[in-house]
Structure 1
């Protein structure tokens, strides 16, 4: 098997990895915290599973719409300025989530948060694609997406602790405070990212959006990403309610459950990232998907279970889920051309969020809770739905992998042809020049 070359990272690239990772940490925590707060929210506001699913999907739908609206502009500006603008808006909106005391106000605040927060991930992916070579992206994505694990190790346990102490609104205020500090760091240390501006074609924002949407190869990537989101969004919003009401886990044990899963992800993410720079990414994705399907079907059929068993099964399930994220994202970043990256990432993120929003709503309609303390019904049905979607997703990611390999081969061939033509011209020049 051909060994891939590992390129070293500069000190500035390491700073970019850190700032994007901590930015992702705050954005992911803002979204992820809705799941562990789910049982608390449903009981304190007397919400049904359907209402809670709408509260979760409100963020996803607005994030998706925001991404589509900004996709045409994403390659027209300095990526640093875009990141700072949307992240500042996200921080302010998250603060208002912490100030909401009624269900309508909460849904409204989540919509505004999604309008700003939903674009940040795509901007980060465009920055990574601009500043890091393909041979580095697995490692980079492994570290940046450690924000997911860090949000579980540090963010969610702390959020649950302060939520139990000061109310469910307090985690959002904590994220807003952290975000203000991160925004200052971006403004002070990140350099402008403008290389893509030099090769922009004279298109309007709408034309650029339509151009990106109409490219067949890009649509394949969009479809794969949307399918990837459906499974997680179906199960995740009701994870804490299932653990508490079906598995017999209390709030203190729930904190430990998220913490252990997060610690595991801190080890898994960098490992998978390095592996995806050395091994075929589609193979890693396929193995991880099959593993995830197996664990999801086991986990969603559990009843009251000892804590240690729940922890082990949860970690094993998360291994599969997280191990799919890095190789699939690395493949997606290789599809767009430089001048289309911002638009591609925005649309990709938007479709992911919109698909996830529909999945959360559908999940809320499938899962039923007769009363506040009753076990959730039909959660096992979600497991079967997720398994079916995952198998179709494997096929779509395979198509993305084929397109990426074809593009890499064409690029390499073009470089060889250019090199041969250049060398031929030099030899011709040498033979025609006569000595004096």
Structure 2
């Protein structure tokens, strides 16, 4: 059920990339304005997460999920009804206020239920929502958008999410074990208590750096494919379908590997591989469709291969009584950093007119490489924190 909620939230966010070229042409907006549309969701999601963090551990996690998922559905409906650029920005802000918190609530539920030794596989399964959105959601969204306009994918998400909401309400059990561990702190005090912990701050920074790469490249994915690589609108769904199939194959496999090997080592290798593929892709010229699909699949594999071990590592940092607040703050910083990255990308990328090739997309690739190198250093510190925490727990258990 959590994977299904993730599917709709990810689809709502990810569909902005393939609809990017269509939206820019339809509303006659420039790349920097489209970057603001993408960033509006990210910034509002980040602010919402910070506001939620203080009371995220004080309620049944199921009730929090239902509240924010309901708001997400209304925000997505507003996106489909938007007729002007300001209305679309406002609708994305509303969607972000609610949708941006759903991932952190789901992560808190998972971390409460599953031990670290199983979490790689669980994260791999959860992240399949990312692959499913590309295999099923994005191609279908593009198909109906080509026939009924860019608004139609948002209406499709609303219908799916309403059905999933009913499933969550009636089938998901309450998650309340964390309530027994709560101390009598106020909302602001609990937020500050979480932020003050040094190990938590290291994890927050690692997450922020990790998110920058994806956010920088994502907004202009379809515009680059269409205007620079000469992929047609009819071929675009095929590009996302093959990438999504790669996601469905890689996610569970990487999840199992992450539970058997050192998670940081796996992340480091995947990041180095990703840097190479990103530079190749962002400097790509028009090629046969099969070659563009192959390189795109290889790039996505690198993104996914570092996403699973990184998420599993960071989820092990907080204590149970802090998990809701930690996950909310973590998701907030991720979204805010991603929003800044989308704005930065919009300032780097230029386009003479709606049908011209994008310029300076290769510069975006090099910036992604730089942030990826920094993320390796930060996640290395997170790995050391977790190993020290695990050793201390074992020593306490042994002495007892």
User: What TM-score results when the alignment is normalised by the length of structure 2?
Assistant: 1.00
Counterpart CA distance in 2 for 1:341 and 1:247 is: 44
SS at match of 1:231: helix
Q: Of residues 328, 333, 338 in structure 1, which corresponds to 2:310?
A: 328
SS at match of 1:284: helix
| 1:367-399 alpha-carbon deviations (Å, 9 max, x no partner) | 000101100000000011000110010000000
C-alpha deviation, 1:58, in angstroms: 0.2
Q: How does 1:391-402 map to 2 (within 5 A)?
A: 391-402=373-384
Counterpart CA distance in 2 for 1:70 and 1:33 is: 26
Counterpart CA distance in 1 for 2:12 and 2:334 is: 17
Q: Of residues 156, 159, 170 in structure 1, which corresponds to 2:152?
A: 170
Aligned CA RMSD, in angstroms, stands at 0.5
C-alpha deviation, 1:357, in angstroms: 0.2
Counterpart CA distance in 2 for 1:86 and 1:345 is: 15
Q: Of residues 62, 76, 79 in structure 2, which corresponds to 1:80?
A: 62
Counterpart CA distance in 2 for 1:267 and 1:316 is: 12
Counterpart CA distance in 2 for 1:258 and 1:360 is: 20
**Partner in structure 1 of residue 392 of structure 2:** 410
SS at match of 2:234: helix
Counterpart CA distance in 1 for 2:127 and 2:178 is: 24
Residue 210 (structure 1) aligned with residue 192 (structure 2): yes
Counterpart CA distance in 1 for 2:319 and 2:113 is: 14
Q: Of residues 123, 126, 137 in structure 2, which corresponds to 1:141?
A: 123
**Partner in structure 2 of residue 4 of structure 1:** none
Q: Of residues 99, 108, 112 in structure 2, which corresponds to 1:117?
A: 99
Unaligned 5+ segments in structure 2 are: none
SS at match of 1:252: coil
Q: How does 1:276-315 map to 2 (within 5 A)?
A: 276-315=258-297
C-alpha deviation, 1:206, in angstroms: 0.3
SS at match of 1:101: coil
Q: Of residues 50, 60, 70 in structure 1, which corresponds to 2:42?
A: 60
C-alpha deviation, 1:96, in angstroms: 1.1
Q: How does 1:180-329 map to 2 (within 5 A)?
A: 180-329=162-311
Residue 374 (structure 1) aligned with residue 356 (structure 2): yes
Counterpart CA distance in 1 for 2:122 and 2:107 is: 10
**Partner in structure 1 of residue 325 of structure 2:** 343
C-alpha deviation, 1:303, in angstroms: 1.4
C-alpha deviation, 1:412, in angstroms: 0.8
Q: Which runs of 4+ in 1 moved over 2 A?
A: none
Larger Rg: 1
C-alpha deviation, 1:219, in angstroms: 0.3
C-alpha deviation, 1:361, in angstroms: 0.2
C-alpha deviation, 1:306, in angstroms: 1.2
Counterpart CA distance in 2 for 1:234 and 1:133 is: 33
User: What TM-score results when the alignment is normalised by the length of structure 1?
Assistant: 0.91
C-alpha deviation, 1:71, in angstroms: 0.3
SS at match of 1:228: helix
C-alpha deviation, 1:133, in angstroms: 1.1
**Partner in structure 1 of residue 15 of structure 2:** 33
Q: How many residues align?
A: 400
Residue 388 (structure 1) aligned with residue 370 (structure 2): yes
C-alpha deviation, 1:417, in angstroms: 1.1
Unaligned 5+ segments in structure 1 are: 1-18, 419-436
Counterpart CA distance in 2 for 1:386 and 1:93 is: 30
Deviates more, 1:301-310 or 1:27-36: 301-310
SS at match of 1:251: coil
Q: Of residues 48, 52, 56 in structure 2, which corresponds to 1:70?
A: 52
C-alpha deviation, 1:116, in angstroms: 0.2
SS at match of 1:143: helix
Residue 127 (structure 1) aligned with residue 100 (structure 2): no
Counterpart CA distance in 2 for 1:217 and 1:27 is: 29
C-alpha deviation, 1:93, in angstroms: 1.1
Counterpart CA distance in 1 for 2:167 and 2:70 is: 12
C-alpha deviation, 1:185, in angstroms: 0.5
**Partner in structure 2 of residue 51 of structure 1:** 33
Counterpart CA distance in 2 for 1:405 and 1:274 is: 20
Counterpart CA distance in 2 for 1:388 and 1:355 is: 15
Counterpart CA distance in 2 for 1:417 and 1:172 is: 56
Counterpart CA distance in 1 for 2:336 and 2:274 is: 23
